[in-house]
Chains A and B, each alone.
Chain A
Amino acid sequence: MTRGRFARGASRIPRSWIAAWLCLAAAAAAAGCSAAGTAERTSGGTTLDAVRTRGFLRCGVSTGIAGFSTIDGRGEWHGLDVDVCRAIAAAALGDASKVRYTPLSAARRFAALQAGDIDVLARNTTISFQRDAQLGFEFPAVNWYDGTTFLVRRSRGVERPQQLDGTTICLTPGTTTEADVADYFRKHGLRFTPVVIERVEEAVAAYQNGRCDAFSSDQSTLAGIRARAPNPADHVVLAETISRSPLGPAVMPSDGRWVKIVRWSVYAMVDAEELGLTSATIDAALGSPAPEIRRFTGVEGDLGPMLGLDRRWAYAIVKQVGSMRESYERNLQPLGIERGLNRLWKDGGLLYVPDIR
């Protein structure tokens, strides 16, 4: 009796499983090949309209990268990337606080943007050809020039990346770092063993426990990790970077005007620094006779409405968020992160953006 029931069950269950498996395979194949004859759908309404109707901006940020996007004890977000979200909200809604933040892992971030769960992704994202061309995102502006390097124990006496031959290196997946490190070691004929741990916190803990000789990420991220380590003086962030990592917000390309709004929200912060405007001086600047400042603050001209924004959009950004310098001084300087390439062009940096005119 028992034997019979068992034998029949054995021959029956796998068959339906196989059917399910075939279905899944069919679905995968259909998703893989481009199915013909499906109509192109045009999206009704712009992102700006959607944001205004909703009353807040949906911004994708990190789960906690010091200086870029972290949440404090009162539930408020801070950081260089958070300031991009706030600037866009100030431009689009006139209120920088009207943002709903979605914390995303490196691995989850692009899916969230593609699925339309967020209006903009501001999460230490390296701009690359493949992300632009194949994933189909638009990267309107750079908000931080960074580069991949290594965090090592001071006691090891490592000063340059080339001295890391034969070491074990902790990494997080879903970053360009994985490929940067592989490229660098291959180029120099060196060897390393990667330990790829999903969450930043556990990957850092593995490094601190001595599982890895080095931890690799963007220089600014490493400076943040070092600043929060139990004994920062025991660790060094190597000065030499092995890649260029321009970081910037990403949006979907379907709404060209929204791409421009994000771009000019970042530019406005840089332009403000160029014009010597800060959140403290912007009100006084409203009475300035200088034509470029009058255009910037919206006292003169019709620039804002060209993008469907308020005349005072840039004023709102500077008043509520501040200039790029203020954002740096508020978020990254306290962590000991050098401004370096991220100074204005006239101070020897790379920040050079078009005029608001």
Chain B
Amino acid sequence: MTNNNEVSDEMLMALADGELRGADAERLSQLIDRDPLLAERFAAFAETRALLREAYPAEPIPDRLIQAVLRTDAEEASTIVPLHRRVRPAGSIWGMALAASLVLAVGFGGFLVGRGSVPGPVASDPIAAAAVALASLPTGAEVQLPDGQSARALASFDTELGLCRLIGIERARAVVCRSEDGWTTALSVAEGDGAAYLPASDVATGMIDAMLDSIGAGAPLAPEAERAALSR
């Protein structure tokens, strides 16, 4: 990579998209710093990304789409939605862990699991804040937290622990359950390495599924039932 003309568009783009890491990224950044032409090519990739983000701002999901998911779901009495909840392991481990308000670090897949231990730039407990902010809002609703993250109610469940909700915030997902003292975080799964996206399938979902099953959660509550439960 001594000749700057040999730096491909793909490499510059990968750097702009945060896909290039470590020594490679550093080396390329240095080349860019020294070569105005390279810097311009790089800028084109960085700027198109920024522009597109602005041109297609995240807008609230229209209610009808959320209703479409929930309505069909209620009709079919599906066991899958919103997470594919088919597995029903003998779940007492989760129940016990829950009772002990678990703090777990899991070494695979880069996820951290724990109570109130969201890694990353979040200082206070955003899950607790999200649970309270969403307390009277239906599934699909989104709120802005004080720290600027957005939180969304993904589903509500009737469980052995009472009303529990699945909440998604930018880098974490959590199950919170309502008790007399308010909302308690029963489980949080957060992305470990600071990247911007949590795969919807795999490990995190599996853990949340297992946890929900272990506390006897059925299909997500339909809008009517949810409204009633939340206002109780």
A interacts with B: no
List residues of B whose CB falls within 8 A of some A CB: none
